[in-house]
Structure 1
């Protein structure tokens, strides 16, 4: 058995028992090594993709010639066309996409692949399943070609640099899943059809896999030479290592199956004294019967330590569970919510259940009361979640860790529904695919769930597949937004450059009316021409400035014919640009009237010999090299505090912000795009909002409190925290 196999079977590095070689890494050095490794992996993989794109065209063409299936043949030919037309774009987009995924995985906040595992076939089209199967096949093929020991080294060493424990095989930052997911998303942004994506991924895989192993070796050598786990020892997972990993996770996740039952640090959670049976304590609180005692019992139920001490809670009363089965069977498709159902369940809990059963039913009912009152959840999703009340009560009675553990199957499902519905970009209209899909899942749970909690895993898989379809819709919309935002940022940069050129060429030598015209109107023409038509049009626009300035300077009599020859071409060029940029007609008229007047004065003075020294006529259409002052530089942004700078630096695509509107309402918006320079952020909300915000403006909003990062907790988590903190009363 290889070292990697041993490590996979038993391994985690318990860093409480490390050698001197494995001493803790200074945070600054850890950050530097992480940056070094990230740059190395991104650069080398991008190079591998670039080389692969040069080679796959011939491979795909050969496959197309051999293939007898017309549809498959067309997909292969379309893939060839895509590579030839968008070679550079694929390289650039992949680099950005993979760098983003790598960083997210390092920090533990990667949202994973957009496609979920196959399952729940009734909710998705067959093509989605087929694409997922093809994608998984590519991943497995790539993984099979990697050296297990090098993979183990990457998992362990990058885990140490991330200040956590070893990464799992499929979620470390440089895993094949990350590489091919970045490629898949890149191709999706280019609107490649599924068959074309599959063909390209399949063709690129051998080229990437052959380089990936070498990249792993290089990174491992670099980290070994920097004394990051120079020797890796496979060890059994210890409770101490598990507890340390759970503590490092953000947000912190309770570990009900942990072997350690440490006292809870949260004052809202009832602690469990060492050596005590938490459920004996809970029974004593319930026997007391007073409101404070019942609240203490509720806190015990919300404490993960209560379920990690090797003790089991009392089972639910069979009669109560049978009565809830009957209530669920009568719900049908019309719903499983409402006051009458709630009253019926509470009555069953009082008359047929134990005190613990009664408390559980009461707390679940309060959870749904809070969900109903939560304004951040759309009503369409609330209606579906309320139908799950009886299912949630049964699940909480069968597995009492519902309130203590985010990993409880039913709670995990509710959390995911809340998270999806709270996304500002989610389409939660009554007829939307998301709401319809959630309704189907609810129908299926009402029909299927009796006492086997594994049905919630199936439901979660169905939800994942549903969300992958929603993610595809969003990805297509985001790609269009990105193109618009990229153009907008290019336009802003070009406008800055245009104004810098105007200041350099006309700032001191041109009359005030001309400088005003250039700075208010012509800069827009220049920027538009540069972005849409390129450098040649930009040079023509610069030539117009030079010619305009020359035209109003003093002339000698022999220069008048040259001025007369220049003006028609100059005026025509100006008119074309101004019309194309949509400059106001009245502004144009005022400028040309003043220009005509000034030209008359220049000509009159030249005739009477009152001109100054002659100035050279610029070569219209071929301006001289710009003066040094014309090189545009971005005006310095207002200084921001270190804290605001940190907040800006932490913002990532996909984050949700809460924006305070002038009417006092807070609106949730999603960061759908961040420019490579981080100067422009696009905030969106389905269906109508796409709001570009410059960095300086966003900094002002953060500093004044107008915008803030939205709470990452789901509605379920907020509700349970409220109940555990005693802010929701329990009847005595």
Structure 2
């Protein structure tokens, strides 16, 4: 539960204009130019978004499953048409208000706290799910655009810092940043008076139609501010330390690809960003085989030059390089080169036989029957072909290589999937359609985001070995079975069949990610509450130690102060803060308690006793206990009416405020960190929330993925959830750094996030390793 207060991201102040803002004339002139440019750019995008939103609503009404749902959708459509004219002006007014409050940003970030009333339990209410859902979606939109913004967004924050007369703005506080645009959308969208589902649909359309063009707006704003003389020569050159032996001259493309690949993975399960198969991987591949492309593609000594040339290599050249690697692999493995068949079957004959095999019912899974491999499929296909074309019929070298590469890829995928997972059966059913797609289109191994490969990844990740038993999703398995059956039934050379099937699966992944975000947000709020409690306990301990100042009250009194009165101070810091009058009053009472109990002949203080009694009852102490403790802490001698033995027993039996196993574990001071552990610890404190980790579970190297949802920079406490947003544990950043230093935990980066990419990199490592060739270039970096 939480106090019933409004969200901090929105202020109660009404719309404001730049003309009425208390700004210097020069700043006002620049902001008016910014507002004009942003208004012109956003008006067009917003109108396009509203047009698309209207089409989506009409499509929902057209596809409604009942007349009631259809009438609800049409009612939403009618409300949109009634209030649509108010959205764009309201949005532009909200944007101008954000700019007009530029120099009030510091005050907006720290809103004035309302007057604190005595604790009123009737003011507590459950978190509003509607607000929570909207905030999560908008914040994710802002986060994604902030990640895409890159250097131009950083430069814009620097320039707005100059206009505001303060340090640079980060994307979250930039008045015209991605988060600000999303907050303005929420306020403007309320003019439509629509349901939550329709508002969320509006947000998604806004991301596609408006935020996709936000990068262009940022570039134009930087040009405008440059012309206005706001940091005209500003550039951003990040410092990249050069490791020993690293070349001084590196191509920008290669450097940026390496930086991207090392970004921590923050997306939810099934939402990882696809890696560029034809980028970093193929650049390194072309560097190994310069004869596969143009003659000047890799004649120099710099692998980065070859990588730059590989981006322009045709698919045939890159596939030829793969064939060369496969030939080297066969030679070094001792496999004899297959003799050319007497009759090489054309591609049409191969596709027709595979189509006939695809129409056959899937083999049953009898106990003990080994799973069919791609090589088994090839042998079965050759047997059918030779029945029709003679015993000398066979495949061309290109088709044989395609089968070999697919076989290696499938084996690597199988290693990453649980042996008894439903995904194993689905992967076997997909073999024939995937082989047909690869045979007909050699870009299967080269093109980024090939539809057949994307579906293969979606199926494999549903049973990935990094998922625990509680991560299983029966609804996802059902959706995957339907998608795979549809591909087997409908695929006949059109790759859009794979694309449609994968799109349906991705819709389920997105729905699950949304549910996981809601669950994770609640876990984060609970963890933040526990963290605030821990911070308040530390403040209470510091306040007591400062007031004692070396003085030593009787041992029984010390126990009462460090337990009962510390709980009072903790609750006061938690509710009111350390700058409040209530905290200052408690500090004075603490000073008075120590003065009286440390003095030999101090007179009892009835007023102090009443104050202590009231405070202890607010913490939850019983009347008798509170009165007995208050009498002892307000006098210097023992109270005849108080039984020390009885009171001590009650205190020991009483649970401390916020006490638990984790609090006890934190009291144990760990040994000093080594240099490696310290390096890991410092790196951890720079990671974004949502970073995925892999934790080694046993000596066999099995891993489980957990998401670092939140950590406290004050207490170092870190919260981890699973793929469904459920809490799986908490630990300190210190212990996590020690696990990383010993190889028991590692950060999942974007290039290692997807199972299909990991399997392909492992395939290439196997080709290079068995051929006795070390990894180099961008390929080596990507598959390390």
Could you tell me which residue of structure 2 aligns to residue 453 of structure 1? 495
By how many angstroms is 1:348 displaced?
3.8
Residues 657 and 708 of structure 1 are in contact (CA less than 8 Å); yes or no, is this contact kept in structure 2? Answer: yes
1:671 is paired with a residue whose SS is strand
By how many angstroms is 1:579 displaced?
3.6
Q: Deviations over 1:8-50 (max 9, x none)?
A: xxxxxxxxxxxxxxxxxxxxxxxxxxxxxxxx99xx99xx99x
Give the TM-score of the pair, scaled to structure 1.
0.56
2:533 is paired with a residue whose SS is helix
Q: Deviations over 1:263-300 (max 9, x none)?
A: 73776x897375598577888999999654898999xx
Could you tell me which residue of structure 1 aligns to residue 271 of structure 2? none
Question: Counterparts in 2 of 1:214-613, with a 5 A limit?
Answer: 218-222=221-225, 225-227=231-233, 249-250=260-261, 254=276, 256=278, 264=285, 272=292, 274-275=294-295, 291-292=331-332, 317-331=347-361, 339-340=371-372, 342=374, 344-351=376-383, 352=385, 353-374=395-416, 379-418=421-460, 432-511=474-553, 513=555, 514-520=557-563, 522-532=565-575, 535=580, 538=583, 541-542=586-587, 544-554=589-599, 559-560=603-604, 563-564=605-606, 566-567=608-609, 570-571=612-613, 573-574=615-616, 576-577=618-619, 579=621, 595=632, 599-601=636-638
Residues 540 and 569 of structure 2 are in contact (CA less than 8 Å); yes or no, is this contact kept in structure 1? Answer: yes
CA distance in 1, matches of 2:510, 2:357: 33
Question: Counterparts in 2 of 1:652-691, with a 5 A limit?
Answer: 652-660=688-696, 666-675=703-712, 679-686=716-723, 689-691=727-729
By how many angstroms is 1:345 displaced?
1.3
Residues 658 and 709 of structure 1 are in contact (CA less than 8 Å); yes or no, is this contact kept in structure 2? Answer: yes
CA distance in 2, matches of 1:282, 1:97: 39
Residues 427 and 686 of structure 1 are in contact (CA less than 8 Å); yes or no, is this contact kept in structure 2? Answer: no
Cα 1:550–1:709 change in 2 (3 A) is same
Cα 1:533–1:272 change in 2 (3 A) is same
1:657 is paired with a residue whose SS is strand
Residues 330 and 337 of structure 2 are in contact (CA less than 8 Å); yes or no, is this contact kept in structure 1? Answer: no
Cα 1:390–1:174 change in 2 (3 A) is farther
Cα 1:705–1:371 change in 2 (3 A) is closer
Cα 1:363–1:184 change in 2 (3 A) is farther
By how many angstroms is 1:320 displaced?
2.3
CA distance in 1, matches of 2:444, 2:357: 21
Cα 1:654–1:92 change in 2 (3 A) is closer
Q: Which runs of 5+ in 1 are unaligned?
A: 1-39, 50-66, 109-153, 162-172, 231-239, 299-313, 605-634
Could you say what the CA RMSD is over the residues aligned between the two structures, in angstroms?
6.2
Could you tell me which residue of structure 1 aligns to residue 8 of structure 2? none
- Greater mean alpha carbon deviation, residues 497-506 or residues 541-550: 541-550
Residues 691 and 707 of structure 2 are in contact (CA less than 8 Å); yes or no, is this contact kept in structure 1? Answer: yes
Residues 437 and 493 of structure 2 are in contact (CA less than 8 Å); yes or no, is this contact kept in structure 1? Answer: yes
Cα 1:705–1:264 change in 2 (3 A) is closer
By how many angstroms is 1:347 displaced?
1.0
CA distance in 2, matches of 1:378, 1:178: 44
Residues 286 and 294 of structure 1 are in contact (CA less than 8 Å); yes or no, is this contact kept in structure 2? Answer: no
* 1:716 pairs with one of 736, 756, 781: 756
Cα 1:640–1:527 change in 2 (3 A) is farther
Q: Which runs of 5+ in 2 are unaligned?
A: 1-29, 40-72, 95-108, 112-130, 160-173, 190-194, 237-250, 263-273, 297-315, 339-343, 386-394, 642-668, 772-784
CA distance in 1, matches of 2:76, 2:761: 58
Cα 1:457–1:247 change in 2 (3 A) is farther
Q: Deviations over 1:372-426 (max 9, x none)?
A: 2325798243443333122221111112233344433322333355557659789
CA distance in 2, matches of 1:418, 1:404: 20
Could you tell me which residue of structure 1 aligns to residue 144 of structure 2? 101
2:261 is paired with a residue whose SS is coil
By how many angstroms is 1:453 displaced?
1.8
By how many angstroms is 1:639 displaced?
7.6
1:682 is paired with a residue whose SS is strand
1:693 is paired with a residue whose SS is strand
Residues 427 and 460 of structure 2 are in contact (CA less than 8 Å); yes or no, is this contact kept in structure 1? Answer: no
Q: Deviations over 1:613-647 (max 9, x none)?
A: xxxxxxxxxxxxxxxxxxxxxx9997885733552
Q: Deviations over 1:168-221 (max 9, x none)?
A: xxxxx9999876667789999xxx932455689999999999x99997654334
Residues 644 and 702 of structure 1 are in contact (CA less than 8 Å); yes or no, is this contact kept in structure 2? Answer: yes
